[in-house]
Amino acid sequence: MNSQEEQRLNQEDESTIEDSSEITELLVKTAALSQQISPAQIKQISPLALAYLGDAIYELYVRMYYLWPQQRSELYHRSVVAQVRAETQALHLRSLIPHLRSNELEIVRRGRNAVTSRPKRLNPEIYQQATSLETLVGYLYLTDHPRLTELLQKLHLER
């Protein structure tokens, strides 16, 4: 590796570290906002809206997971994409099912039943499971951060 390439990688690493600090700060700020939503308001949020939120939170968690060890940008991207694919999300949901409480299983059921369309390349069951995981993540993000953290840590993300 020549010195120019090393310098470029070091600059990428520094910008990634700065970006992760900003993301963490943003996550903390949004967590404070989520606590301003009442339980009654949360019940009114549709499962697909919870999945929309959960998709963002799940991807952020995965991105933060892959920050270390430091890698090139394209390796970060490939690692994250492999984990946020519907097929992988479906596997993650199935691995979490034994650990879920009854109210969480109800959220998963609501997420599964909310799916009305899917990408043509996907089996409908896989897409329903992925949406169910995202719905659960969105719901827990709004209602129970420690529980969300506990469940996300049970996922077996590949290094």
**CATH code assigned at 61:** 1.10.1520.10
Number of domains in the chain: 1
Indicate whether 59 belongs to any domain.
Answer: yes
Structure confidence at residue 131 as a pLDDT band (50, 70, 90): very high
Q: Residue 118 and residue 121: Cα distance in Å, rounded?
A: 8
Which comes out higher in pLDDT, residue 134 or 115? Answer: 134
Q: 3-state SS of the chain?
A: CCHHHHHHHHHHHHHHHHHHHHHHHHHHHHHHHHCCCCHHHHHHCCHHHHHHHHHHHHHHHHHHHCCCCCCCHHHHHHHHHHHHCHHHHHHHHHHHHHHCCHHHHHHHHHHHHHCCCCCCCCCHHHHHHHHHHHHHHHHHHHHCHHHHHHHHHHCCCCC
Q: Is 33 exposed, middle or buried (0-12, 13-18, 19+ CB in 10 A)?
A: exposed
Question: Is residue 20 predicted with pLDDT exceeding 60?
Answer: no
Indicate whether 93 belongs to any domain.
Answer: yes
Catalytic, 144? Answer: no
CA distances from 85 to 15, 126, 148 (A): 26, 10, 20
Catalytic, out of 13, 19, 55, 144 = 55
**Residue 46 backbone dihedrals phi, psi, to 5 degrees:** -70, 155
Indicate whether 65 belongs to any domain.
Answer: yes
Indicate whether 159 belongs to any domain.
Answer: no
Q: Which region among 29-43, 65-79, 80-94, 134-148 has the lowest average model confidence (pLDDT)?
A: 29-43
Q: Residue 22 and residue 63: Cα distance in Å, rounded?
A: 13
Q: What is the pLDDT of residues 72-122, one digit of tens each?
A: 878 878 888 888 899 999 999 999 999 999 999 999 999 998 876 666 677
Indicate whether 79 belongs to any domain.
Answer: yes
Q: Residue 89 and residue 123: Cα distance in Å, rounded?
A: 13
Indicate whether 141 belongs to any domain.
Answer: yes
Give the residue numbers spanning the domain of 84. Answer: 3-154
